[in-house]
Amino acid sequence: MPEARFTRVDLYRTVTSILMVALGLVILARTLGLGIHLMPLLVGLGFIGLGAYRLSFVVAYLRRGGSLL
């Protein structure tokens, strides 16, 4: 069985996942500053949730002994 490597595509997905979490936090911070509105709250939480879900795969890969380099 060939060793699974961390490719450029995996790096791209990892960076976009981190940016999703950051964007979700920015959306929530801006929303809560103006008062609580349902749609931005759901969108911010959605970005944070999806980014965290995608990052969980990276963490699992690293725990199995994978390397980012």
pTM score of the predicted model: 0.82
- Position 53 scores a pLDDT of 97
**Is 40 contained in some domain?**
yes
Q: d(Cα 69, Cα 63) in Å, to the nearest integer? A: 15
Q: How confident is the model at residue 10 (pLDDT cuts 50, 70, 90)?
A: confident
**Is 21 contained in some domain?**
yes
**Is 4 contained in some domain?**
no
Number of structural domains the chain divides into: 1
Domain with 30 in it? 9-63
Contact between 50 and 20 under an 8 Å Cβ cutoff? The reply is yes
How confident is the model over 38-66, as pLDDT tens digits? 999 999 999 999 999 999 998 888 888 77
**Is 57 contained in some domain?**
yes
